[in-house]
Amino acid sequence: MSLFSAFQLGDTVLRNRFVMAPMTRSRSPGDVANALTALYYTQRASTGLIVSEGTPISREGQGYLFNPGIYTPEQIAGWRLVTDSVHSVGGKIFAQLWHVGRVSHTSIQEGGKAPVSSTSKTAEGAFAFGYADNGEPGFVSTSQPQALSSEAVGRVVRDFAQAAANAIEAGFDGVEIHGANGYLLEQFLNPKVNDRTDQYGAQNLDNRLRFVFEVVDAVCQRIGAGRVGIRFSPYGQLMDMPLYDEIDQTYSALCAGLGERGIAYVHVMDQTHFFLRAETAVAREDALKALLVSCRKGLKSTRLILAGDLTLQRAQALVASGLIDLAGFGQPFIANPDLVARLENGWPLAVANKDTYYGGGAEGYIDYPPYLG
């Protein structure tokens, strides 16, 4: 049960049970991973599994400038540089496949087209990282989307499958489908956002789940279920995702369907501590544990990762209790490339400079040293 021992995750053997969670860093000019990207991930490759920053599956799926995609030959070659470097030091890395849906802006879309979604409703209060009216890059309010036709939904499913194949060509050990944080998959899942009347609409649970399962099935068919994971953020309200009564039922049914498909893992981003309407920390922890129990029940051999607000002690307790299999850490990896060694040896953790989280160059990206004693 030790977090520091090897672990079998689908088709991939990990050196430990720690996962570096996906984090947008916006440091890829031309939306192509480069040598700086390779060094950043390689410095952190002592973790069991790295999940890459969100990598758009298409130009349409992009909502932020300077993030490396996975849909052109140049992008595949850029990621190959990263994966070769990570593998050279014994690391494992999955690509997070990303379509932002309505969380985009016309300045990012090809030909200035509207973003696409399950709906034509704008993500109120949400921002993309595109070009302002003066032509300078920056945060801009999301544009009104166009609802995908039933036929176009099928095309997006195929885009996910092709992106997965591209990721394997680029040397990734597998892929994680981004179904969290208010992006496209969640725009279909949430009945207060999804206002469709076709087979993907919110009239019933099966319809709301259909798009997610079609994406998963298409990706599994292309690269094998043992190399596929998916990320969710139940109770999250990011990007104008309102809470709804059927949240627990929705994710319980999702996990049951994913367990039947035998994918490698489900990755839950814990946002209950920030968004769940509960009065005490104990109530929020109880809600999270109830969610994990519900998800675990349907997963069968599919593994469960939890990320968000974890400490070593909390992660160890959750693994020991059987609620989760692996522990995901995000921001601590920014300033601590050797995070696993620091946690194992009780060494102090460095604090990251938040001003350098997004954009820029080497500063705040690859210049954090390992612990030197």
Supply the residues annotated as catalytic: 183
* Bridge partners of residue 19, in order along the sequence: 49, 328
* Bridge partners of residue 266, in order along the sequence: 230, 304
Strands (E), the chain: 7-9, 12-14, 18-20, 49-56, 93-98, 116-117, 127-131, 137-141, 146-147, 174-178, 228-232, 265-269, 303-307, 326-329
* Bridge partners of residue 97, in order along the sequence: 55, 177
In the block, tokens 């595949």 appear at: 76
Q: CA quadruple 181, 184, 186, 191: dihedral positive or negative?
A: positive
User: Using alpha carbons only, what angle is made at residue 254 by residues 278 and 184, rounded to the nearest 5 degrees?
Assistant: 85
Closest CA to 172 of 100, 231, 91, 99: 91
